Chain A
Amino acid sequence: MTTARAREILASLRALECALTACYPYAACLGASTRKHRPDWWQLYAREAPVSAGLPLPQAADYAFLAFCERTLDQDELDAVLAAGLASAPSAQQVELVNTLDWYQRQR
């Protein structure tokens, strides 16, 4: 999956008003890749939500981090980072992103 294709799918999900933390099963993985690519965002999150950032299971902290990003950051800027992460993500995460869009489009 190219970054451009990932951007396109994210835009389609946003148009359907689907937050990734509400619809994408690998949301925590996106949180983890965003943490890696934007440590400054993670630091902001850790200051504003220290309890969530300090959870003992990384999957829980990363999921909550993505929810924080979706709530507080500029969507275009966030989606650019997410798309880059998705382009290098394991195949299952990419296939599931397409599945997720397909599922929500069929529900409308």
Chain B
Amino acid sequence: MRRTLEWSTHAEYDRDRDEVIDSRQRMLWAARVLSAVTPPQHRTRLCELAEARSAHDHAYVQGLEALAACGSYHLDPELRFDATLWRAARAACAATSDAVLAAQGNTRALHLCVSRPGSHHASRGFALGCCVLNNLAVGAHAALASTTQRVAIIDFDAHHGNGTQDIFWDDPRVLCVSLHQYPFFPGSGAAGERGPHDTIANYALPAGTDHGPAVRAYAQALERVHRFQPSLILAEAGLDAHAADHTSDLLYTDETFYSFGCLTAKLLDDLRCPLVAELGGGYTESALVGGLTALLDGFGVRS
């Protein structure tokens, strides 16, 4: 089935403060690749606190809202939180949630959200790794509150999606599969972490894993998704497992991401399912541009 790519972004990521990794530059690299296919949809809405509370603890969301008015404070060594970051997190969250609701029920939908700050390390009540709100989790909750019965979340960022796993640990309506380096940041994601309903699947890859084993593991992960029979698939599309990326020890190539795209496209066809993905890691130009281009080629949306 031929799919048409849509992608969205928001203007709130444009900060030039003390981040370890230059978010603005990364977004520009991604935009260059995606704009060659189709122009972006620009989002401006900020998520409501009630939306954020669908995935996060009430006290956590209220605490963030109040803290944003207090000044600038570290939540972890890399994450300095302030009103600017809070606005960006809420904008990113709304962008993903809106994309999910728009895609719901549209079997041909293929949407990529290009947003910062990141999101898959944000758990129910704890910010980590520059992630404050979990966008995919909020989007999944919005879909489940509407017409969607079952959601699968596929995460192939080099780092385990600990926050997503935490939020859906005991929710039988959501399958979380993650393919990542282990042991590695954030310390979770061992294969034995499966959840009380066996809806958590971690494909923990050792440092040095390259193309062949990665594609085999991804195919296994997608078989698991197929058995779950979701009506909506969400994805954390990280490109930081690329060998050209210095932030992980995985050795994927452009071809690996092409294979991921092909396998995912086939799964979507088989399940007649929409896909909404958010861009995850990818911290060098060659990894992000090469990996994203290959992924889109695999999806069949560029040629």
Q: Which range holds the interface residue count of chain B?
A: 20 to 34
Cα A101 to Cα B64 with chains together (Å)? 30
Task: Determine if A22 is an interface residue (Cβ-Cβ < 8 Å).
Answer: yes
Cβ–Cβ < 8 Å partners of B129 in chain A? 25
Taken together as a complex, chains A and B put the C-alpha atoms of A63 and B184 apart, in Å, by: 22
Residue count of chain A within 8 Å CB distance of chain B:
27
Measured between beta carbons, the chain B residues less than 8 angstroms from A39 are none
**Min C-beta distance of A20 to chain B, whole Å:** 8
Residues A57 and B187 in contact in the complex (CB < 8 Å), given A25-B128, A27-B76, A27-B77: no
Tell me if B75 and A28 are in contact (CB < 8 A): yes
Residues of A within 8 A of B128 (CB): 25-26
A63: shortest Cβ distance to chain B, in Å? 5
Find chain B residues with CB under 8 A from A2 CB.
none
A residues less than 8 Å from B70 (CB atoms): 55-56
What residues of chain B lie closer than 8 Å to A97, measured between beta carbons?
A: 187
A96 at interface by CB-CB < 8 Å: yes
Q: Are A56 and B187 in touch, CB under 8 angstroms?
A: no
Interface residues of B in 209-234 (CB under 8 A from A): none
Known: A25-B76, A60-B74, A94-B187. 10 other contacts (CB 8 A): A27-B76, A52-B73, A55-B70, A56-B66, A60-B73, A63-B74, A96-B186, A96-B187, A97-B187, A99-B187
Q: Which residues of A contact B186 (CB under 8 A)?
A: 25, 92, 96
Task: Confirm or deny: A21 has a beta carbon within 8 angstroms of a beta carbon on chain B.
Answer: yes
Question: Roughly how many angstroms separate A92 CA and B190 CA in the complex, as a whole number?
Answer: 9
Contacting residues of chain A (74-108) with chain B, CB-CB under 8 angstroms: 91-99
Q: Does A24 contact B (CB under 8 A)?
A: yes
Contact of B183 among A64, A93, A95 (CB under 8 A): A95
The answer to whether the Cβ of B63 comes within 8 Å of any Cβ in the partner chain is: yes
Is A56 a contact partner of B63 (Cβ separation < 8 A)?
yes
Residues from chain A with Cβ under 8 Å of B67 in the complex: 55-57, 60
User: In the complex, which residues of chain B have a beta carbon less than 8 angstroms from the beta carbon of A92?
Assistant: 162, 186-188
Residues of chain B within 8 A (CB-CB) of A99 are: 183-185, 187
